[in-house]
Structure 1
Amino acid sequence: MVVELISVGTELLLGNIVNTNAQFLAEKCASLGLSMYHQVTVGDNRERLAEDINTALQRADIIILTGGLGPTEDDITKEVCAEVMGFKLVEDPHTRERIETYFKDGIYPVITENNWKQALIPEGCKVLDNHNGTAPGLILEKAGKAAILLPGPFNELKPLFLDAVSPYLQELQPEVIRSQMIKICGHGESQVADQIKDLIAAQTNPTIAPYAKTAEVHLRVTARAADDETAKSLIKPVVKEIKNRFGDDIYTTKEEETLEMAVVRLLKKYELTVTTAESCTGGLIAGRLVNVSGASEVFREGFVTYSNKAKRKILDVSKGTLKKYGAVSEQTAKEMATGGVFATDADVCIAVTGIAGPSTEGDKPVGLVYIACYMKDKVKVEEYHFKGNRDKIREQAVVKSLDLLRRSILTNYRG
């Protein structure tokens, strides 16, 4: 079954916002076993949008349109799609009631006349209740084709897709599609591909699809079968073989679990507390950890010691160490990690110091980063030479720091 994505909004063409919707929908459609050959971005223009909808309906079974469902005049997706597919717009009492309730219970109690535009729907279509906004999702079906209309804001689109659209798409599939995600740290995309090239060469069903992330590689193993149990049985041996090859470099096989979530899970499991001591990353590691629900149980404190003075005062890094080896050194990273533990009485401290650029520091190059982890009265320090701009270097340093923390816990506490 072929699906096509149309992203609507002049702000996308101008680069005012990043199209996170397209990335999310493409990945989810792939996991459902749908083929996507085209993605289109079009501005708020009736003629061009109508042309793109007509073209998409000719070459795809399903089209997903995002954006343009708001109350203003330039929100035209619903109107144009209904016109192209031959639907009349009628007011939906259920949606009107939901809009009234949304405003009554919200921070903006006044309903303006243009809000009622969102209560108009193509006659006979499926209405998907949007619990995070006023624009409902819509499914228009005609002549074996379907158009799925979703609101543009990602915090509305994502739950609506997961709760309503994904089950709808699954029902259209003649086969069951099941996927298993494997997330790996410590290897680049080419290294991972090389280690599983025999599996990829021999694949038929299930298939293995690699996705490169910053300092991570994700593998999606997908199987098609007549039923869910058969699909699971096809996936299981492939996942087992990949686990055998990568071992502890795999931090999760759960779709929604991030690296920081995996770290917090381990900290909770072994009843450990953690402190962060950051220089070049400026609090990004702490930020990733506290984004995880329940992190307050394990996160003790976060220090941003950007200056040498802060390193001495807060983390007790010796003046002699800074003078002899510099702020960016194995010795300084080690003392930062040690100082973080003793300053907060935490079980663990992860520390990072480096040169994110664009300027070098003496004879030390941009991208040089030292990451240290204090655990059980021992400090492990790793040296990295990251490539890329300032943001890329800092992002890589954060991922490697979290991964060092994760691997250190496994080494020291796993039975």
Structure 2
Amino acid sequence: MKVGVILVGTELLNGGMIDTNSIYIAEELNKYGLEMEFKIVVRDFKDEIYRAIDYCKKNVDLIIMSGGLGPTLDDITKEVIAEYVNKPLVVDAEELEELKDKFIKGGYTFTEINKKEVEKPEGSVTFKNDVGMAPAVYIDDIVAFPGVPRELYNMLPKFLAWYTKEKNLIDDEIYIKDLITYGMPESILDKEVREFFTEEGIYYEFLVKDYGILIRLQSKRSNKNKVEKIIKKIYNKIGKFIFGEDNDRLEGKVVELLRENKLSISTAESCTGGMLASRLIDVSGVSEVFYEGIVSYSNESKMKRLGVKKETLEKYGAVSEETVREMVMGLQTDVGLATTGIAGPEGGTEEKPVGLVYMGIKIKDRVYVEKRVFKGDRNKIRERTVSHTLFTLIKILNEDV
């Protein structure tokens, strides 16, 4: 079954907002074997929305729309859908009362203009919005969601579960398995794993994320056993580059390993400026293992907070193996992480270029230091430093603890 996606919002075309909804929609469609054939981005203009719907109707089986379901004048998506299917806009009394109740519980004042949020073409099926106001609306193979990402995330899974059952599309659901890798380029990954995909109906692709590269395996659920055999072969060949599966993330795996081994952790950061601590603190339950994060950006801070020797800084500089070693030794927990580097765009020299970083890892009385030169802008260098530090810690914990 083919799907067309229409993203409604002038802000998506004038640079005011970045589209992330279509990425999420595609990922959810994959789970049901539904193919997104194309996406169209249109402004909040009635004729443009109408033409987009008309084009989709002639080319795909299902239209998914996002945006334009709010209460303001430029929120006209449902109005255009109603015109296209030749149905009047109506308001369900029960849905209106539910909307008013949301306003009261949220401490807001309900006004007549907000009524627009529960208008729908006559005969529509609606899907409850648990995190916002306007419900999703479906009629005649057209479904419309609010443009707010968390509201789409709340309702799209409900809709797809209902729609695939309604259309009898769940006889053999799609089976998807993600292996999350770090430290191996996409081209080498492809070279390493392609030999395992010889059976018809089992596919793979690579998805480059900011936390690693996913090897996504996809087939029908009836082929699950065959997919799992391929996964075992991939682990046997490149297992040291795989840190997790599906929803795993580097920081989550670190916290999991620390909790399993009853180890505490703290961080000392210079070039990453707290990003390392922030990634760890994003993980629920981290309070069991995380002690403190120190951003020791200046030399004075490195000396005062971490006990880095003045002579070390004068002889080797702040960006050096010797300094990061003393930084990480200045942390009092079982595990310590330290970073120092030149994130740029200024400050680099021939001897110490922009992108040079040193990462220190202490596990009890052992210290590991790694030197890397990362490419990219200031933020990308910092992000890569954080990800590489976490991945290296995972490898050490898996091997040595």
Match of 1:158, SS state, is helix
Question: Structure 1-normalised TM-score?
Answer: 0.92
Preserved CA contact (<8 Å) 1:170 1:176: no
1:399 aligned residue (365, 387, 397)? 387
Contact (CA 8 Å) 2:30, 2:174: kept in 1 or not?
A: no
> Is 1:251 equivalent to 2:243 in the alignment?
yes
Corresponding residue of 2:363: 375
Question: Structure 1, residues 24-47: CA drift from partner, whole Å, max 9, x if none?
Answer: 112222333221221111110000
CA distance 1:170–1:313, shift in 2 (3 Å): farther
Q: Structure 2: which amino acid aligns with 1:72?
A: T
Partner of 2:106, secondary structure, is: coil
Aligned residues of 1:179 and 1:221 also touching (Cα < 8 A):
yes
Q: Trace 1:72-91 onto structure 2 (pairs within 5 A).
A: 72-91=72-91
One-letter amino acid of the structure 1 residue matched with residue 26 of structure 2: A
Measured against aligned partners, the alpha-carbon deviations of 1:259-288 in whole angstroms (never above 9, x if no partner) come to 211211111111111101111110011111
CA distance in 1, matches of 2:184, 2:163: 34
Q: Shift in Å at residue 75 of structure 1?
A: 0.2
How big is the shift at 1:215?
Answer: 5.9
Q: 1:203 to 1:279 in 2, by over 3 A?
A: farther
Identity across matched positions, percent? 39
Partner residue in 1 for 2:212: 216
2:256 counterpart residue number: 265
Q: Could you tell me how far apart the structure 2 residues matched to 1:185 and 1:335 are?
A: 27
Q: Distance in 2 between matches of 1:7 and 1:84?
A: 17
Residue 228 (structure 2) pairs with residue 240 (structure 1): no
Number of paired residues? 397
One-letter identity of the residue aligned with 1:159:
N
What SS is found at the alignment partner of 1:14? Answer: coil
Q: What does 1:280-291 align with in structure 2 at a 5 Å threshold?
A: 280-291=271-282
* Map of 1:102 onto structure 2: 102
Moved more, 16-25 or 298-307: 16-25
Q: 1:103 to 1:43 in 2, by over 3 A?
A: same
Structure 2 gap segments, 5+ residues each: none
Give me the whole-angstrom Cα distance separating, in 2, the residues matched to 1:335 and 1:33: 53
Q: Matches of 1:95 and 1:242 in 2, distance apart?
A: 51
1:384, distance to aligned residue in structure 2 (A): 1.0
1:155-180 CA-to-partner distances (Å, cap 9, x unmatched) read 21112223x12313543425311111
Instruction: Please tell me whether residue 388 in structure 1 is matched to residue 387 in structure 2.
Output: no
Deviation at 1:302, TM superposition (A): 0.3
Shift of residue 133, structure 1, vs aligned partner: 0.9
1:203 shift after superposition: 4.9
Which residue matches 1:351? 338
1:383 partner letter: K
Map of 1:360 onto structure 2:
347
Residue 150 (str. 1) matches residue 145 (str. 2): yes
CA distance in 2, matches of 1:375, 1:68: 53
Q: 2: distance between equivalents of 1:324 and 1:361?
A: 18
**How far does the alpha carbon of each residue in 1:77-106 deviate from its partner, in whole angstroms, 9 at most, with x for none?**
111122112332111122212101101110
| Aligned position for 1:206 | 202
- 1:339 shift after superposition: 0.8
Does the 8 A contact of 2:211 with 2:250 survive in 1?
A: no
Q: CA deviation at 1:248?
A: 3.1
Distance in 1 of aligned mates of 2:306 and 2:364: 18
Partner secondary structure for residue 264 of structure 1: helix
